[in-house]
């Protein structure tokens, strides 16, 4: 299974509440008229976020994000068939101008890699999307390996986060699909090498992520284990909403 992730900023003149109402009820209905080869369509409605790190220089891209769209397919053929279909080209895609500032859209195509957690399950009422830029000069395979090792060490160093975490997925960039990312816009936006998805019980417990993040930063400060650029990375707190799942 592969997925496309798009972090979207609302168009000028639109409130966050107006944006969320539009994408959840209007845009979703247009998409669901003909879901084609989609396996699933998930919206993540952002309710808080932070960009960069207090220990680093100012973040280079501080555009707020209102939601993250996740589209799932069984294979690359289904993905390509979806974006070439008339319904997507003439109805779903053009509707984006009604809610999205396409000039700053941020997207990637990724494969999910499930990470073990100590206490899986629970309500999963809040989710963190942790966007990571790979360290300069680090190959993708090395970035993925170091990220996975750092994740395990960070959970060991932050037991409060490990106890609160209910599920974790590493979304690993599939660079062969990067030419397709112009669909959502963001022509000059960077392409992130990885996005961590971390689920917690609710908005009250999602703050445990901060202890995990601090542990990651400490691990990343060692050149032998460094894997990402905190000054270009950010995280979003969101509520996950299922729009469509093929039965």
Contact (Cβ atoms closer than 8 angstroms) between residue 179 and residue 103: no
Higher per-residue pLDDT: 59 or 62: 62
CATH code where residue 36 lies: 3.30.70.100
Question: Mean pLDDT over residues 61-79, rounded?
Answer: 89
Dist CA 130 CA 48 (whole Å): 12
Residues 6+ apart with CB under 8 A from 189: 61, 104, 105, 106, 107
Question: Mean pLDDT over residues 70-99, rounded?
Answer: 94
Tokens, residue 41: 């369509």
pLDDT attached to residue 210:
96
Question: Mean pLDDT over residues 223-234, rounded?
Answer: 95
Contact (Cβ atoms closer than 8 angstroms) between residue 193 and residue 178: no
> What secondary structure letter does DSSP report for 99?
T
Left if phi > 0, otherwise alpha if psi is -120 to 50, otherwise beta: which for 137? left
Contact (Cβ atoms closer than 8 angstroms) between residue 51 and residue 236: no
pLDDT attached to residue 38:
95
pLDDT at 165 over 80: yes
Average of per-residue pLDDT values in the chain? 92
pLDDT attached to residue 28:
97
pLDDT at 56 over 70: no
Residues 6+ apart with CB under 8 A from 33: 87, 91
pLDDT at 93 over 90: yes
Left if phi > 0, otherwise alpha if psi is -120 to 50, otherwise beta: which for 214? alpha
The percent of residues above 70 in pLDDT, for the chain, comes to 95
pLDDT attached to residue 58:
46
pLDDT at 80 over 70: yes
Dist CA 197 CA 130 (whole Å): 6
Q: In this predicted model, what pLDDT tens digit does every residue of 167-204 receive, in sequence order?
A: 999 999 999 998 888 777 777 788 899 999 999 999 99
Question: Mean pLDDT over residues 211-226, rounded?
Answer: 97
Dist CA 45 CA 41 (whole Å): 13
Contact (Cβ atoms closer than 8 angstroms) between residue 236 and residue 209: no
What's the number of domains the chain is made of?
Answer: 1
> In which domain, by residue range, is 143 found?
2-245
pLDDT band at 59 (very low <50, low <70, confident <90, very high): very low
Higher per-residue pLDDT: 1 or 183: 1
pLDDT attached to residue 124:
79
């Amino acid at each position: 299974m592969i997925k496309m992730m798009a972090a979207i900023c609302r168009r000028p003149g639109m409130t966050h509440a107006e944006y969320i109402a539009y994408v959840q009820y209007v845009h979703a209905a247009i998409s669901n008229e003909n879901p084609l080869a989609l396996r699933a369509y998930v919206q993540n409605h952002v309710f808080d976020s932070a960009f960069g790190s207090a220990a680093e220089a100012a973040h280079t891209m501080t555009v707020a994000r209102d939601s993250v769209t996740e589209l799932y397919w069984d294979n690359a053929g289904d993905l390509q068939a979806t974006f070439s279909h008339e319904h997507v080209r003439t109805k779903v895609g053009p509707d984006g101008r009604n809610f999205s500032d396409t000039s700053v859209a941020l997207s990637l195509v990724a494969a999910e890699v499930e990470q073990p957690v100590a206490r899986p399950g629970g309500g999963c009422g809040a989710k963190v999307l942790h966007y990571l830029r790979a360290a300069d000069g680090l190959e993708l395979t090395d970035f993925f390996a170091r990220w996975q090792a750092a994740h395990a060490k960070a959970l060991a160093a932050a037991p409060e986060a490990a106890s609160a975490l209910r599920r974790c997925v590493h979304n690993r960039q599939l660079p062969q699909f990067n030419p397709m990312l112009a669909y959502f816009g963001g022509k000059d936006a960077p392409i992130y090498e990885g996005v961590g998805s971390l689920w917690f019980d609710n908005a009250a417990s999602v703050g445990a992520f901060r202890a995990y993040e601090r542990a990651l930063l400490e691990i990343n400060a060692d050149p032998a284990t460094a894997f990402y650029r905190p000054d270009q990375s950010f995280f979003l707190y969101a509520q996950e909403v299922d729009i469509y799942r093929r039965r």
